């Protein structure tokens, strides 16, 4: 995590941020809690590596809310690839004409 602020053209968001550490996966501890390794930053500067500790019910709620946020107003990769020749028949069901060539 960078410790210096970016140039003016790419200013870091002001305030506190928590970012997942890409190289560390979330895991379940001995007490059954879910632990998510995160970087803490303030005004774009790294402050600490720590963990967000969640009860299993809190982790499930967070996962549901994240999945819902990702679904809203987004288009699937298949929809983008086949936008000229595909027809959505239902959630997760796309009809692609046999005439389509990659």
Is 47 in the same domain as 88?
no
Q: How many Cβ atoms are within 10 Å of 46's Cβ, its own excluded?
A: 14
Q: Which domain, by its residues, includes 39?
A: 1-71
Is 39 in the same domain as 85?
no
Give the tens place of pLDDT for each residue, 28-77.
999 999 999 999 999 889 999 999 999 999 999 999 888 888 777 666 66
Please, which residues have CB within 8 angstroms of residue 9's CB and are 6 or more apart in sequence?
none
pTM recorded for the entire structure: 0.58
Is 30 in the same domain as 1?
yes
For residue 89, is pLDDT > 80? no
Residue of 34, 41, 38 lying closest to 62 (CA atoms): 34
Is 56 in the same domain as 95?
no
Is 66 in the same domain as 85?
no
Is 80 in the same domain as 43?
no
**Residue 10 contacts residue 44 (beta carbons within 8 Å):** no
Q: What angle do CA 28, 40, 32 make, to 5 degrees?
A: 10
């Amino acid at each position: 995590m960078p410790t210096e602020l970016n140039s003016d053209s790419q200013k870091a968001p002001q305030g506190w941020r928590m970012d997942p550490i890409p190289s560390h996966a979330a895991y379940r501890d001995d007490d059954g809690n879910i632990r998510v390794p995160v970087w803490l930053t303030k005004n774009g500067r790294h402050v600490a590596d720590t963990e967000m500790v969640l009860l299993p019910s809190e982790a499930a709620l967070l996962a549901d809310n994240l999945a819902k946020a990702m679904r809203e107003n987004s288009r699937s990769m298949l929809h983008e690839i086949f936008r000229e020749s595909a027809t959505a028949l239902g959630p997760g069901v796309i009809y692609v004409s046999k005439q389509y060539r990659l």
